[in-house]
Structure 1
Amino acid sequence: MRRLKFLSLAVIVYASLFFTSCESTDDSNDMNSIANVEDIKSTVTSGNWVITLFEEDGVNQTSYFTDYTFVFAATGELSADNGETSLSGAWSITSDSNSSDDDSSSDDDIDFNIFFSSPVNFAEISEDWEIVSYSSSRIELVDESGGDGSVDRLVFEKI
């Protein structure tokens, strides 16, 4: 009888630990919600942005974007201007759950898509970036490049 009570108690304790160790995600930080897609779009289209970090294959290449100001138009147009040179590109935000992109580790992440056809340095940031974090003044993006598993990082900050 004593052994049965101990075994029952052990099962209850184990089950309690199992269920309390499973965390639910906070909806306010859920990168998968449609509301967050609209929030990100609203955030990025308000104001001017600069690149504060671009790291490709472990090499910091931020200097290629020094003095460029980026403007994300609600129409999907993207411009970069440094006072001497103006470049045009495109941007969008998509959810992998409704995208045909199969190279993502998750089917439900939100991608920040950037496209510049030239110059070469700007073509390097033309990717379907995964949004790691965002706020009203900062957007951090990552992309697993090539097949070697290296991770590129791109950070925009509002000015």
Structure 2
Amino acid sequence: MVLGIALIGLTACKKKDIKKVEKTVTEGTWKITKFIDSGDDETTSYSSAVLTFTSDGKVVLTQGGTSYGGTWSVKKESKDDDHSSDDSDLEFNLSVPSPHQSLSDDWHIESYSDSKVTLYDLDKDEPNKSDYLTIEKI
């Protein structure tokens, strides 16, 4: 009985965290302050990029006067993923030309605050080829 109550509490906490991340990213615009793609630092390629997340699940990447649209969501990590089931994912799918397609992913949320979100996508076979993304509120 106690285990059942504890599990309900953990589920409610996760839902609360998901709602907080959703609220956080939709408040303002974000810049990319770190982007490691397959082990390569691509941060400078995104120095002028701005991300805007809307509450209806749309995301816009604006860079150099050009805007690219897509969708985003926050969800509890899927069971078939390679990481702990305690994680949540920030997933976005942008309609962007290469090489920006690497931003579209189901990013695992490492940490978040009102002004910074740190994400990762580990390659379990080649850890040195993992992806890391940090966005900070402008």
Shared fold, TM over 0.5 = yes
> 5+ unaligned residues in a row in structure 2: which ranges?
1-8
Task: Report what 2:120 is aligned to.
Answer: 142
Identify which of 41, 44, 50 aligns with 2:22.
41
Higher RCO, Cα 8 Å, sep 6+: 2
Number of the residue aligned with 2:131: 152
**Alignment-mate amino acid for residue 131 of structure 1:** I
The Cα shift of 1:144 comes to: 1.1
Which 4+ stretches in 1 moved above 4 angstroms? none
Q: Which has the higher strand share?
A: 2
Secondary structure of the residue that 1:40 maps to in structure 2? helix
* SS of residue paired to 1:145: coil
| 2:80 counterpart residue number | 102
| Equivalent in the alignment of 2:65 | 84
Give yes or no for contact 1:93–1:112 (8 Å, CA) kept in 2: yes
Q: Which residue is 1:23 aligned to?
A: none
The whole-number CA distance in structure 1 between the counterparts of 2:123 and 2:70 is 21
Deviations 1:28-73 (A, max 9, x none): xxxx611111011000000000000001222110122121111001
Partner of 2:4: none
Size of the aligned set, in residue pairs, is 127
RMSD (Å) for aligned C-alpha atoms:
2.0
Q: Is the CA contact 2:74–2:91 (under 8 Å) kept in the aligned structure 1? A: yes
Cα distance, 1:146 vs structure 2: 6.8
Contact 2:35 2:132 in 1 (8 A): yes
TM-score, reference length from structure 2:
0.83
Amino acid of the residue matched to residue 90 of structure 2? F
Q: Which consecutive residues of structure 1, in runs of 5 or more, have no partner in the other structure?
A: 1-26
Computing the radius of gyration over CA atoms, which structure comes out larger, 1 or 2? 1
Q: 1:108: how far off?
A: 2.7
Q: Any conservation in 1 of the 2:72–2:91 contact (CA below 8 Å)?
A: yes
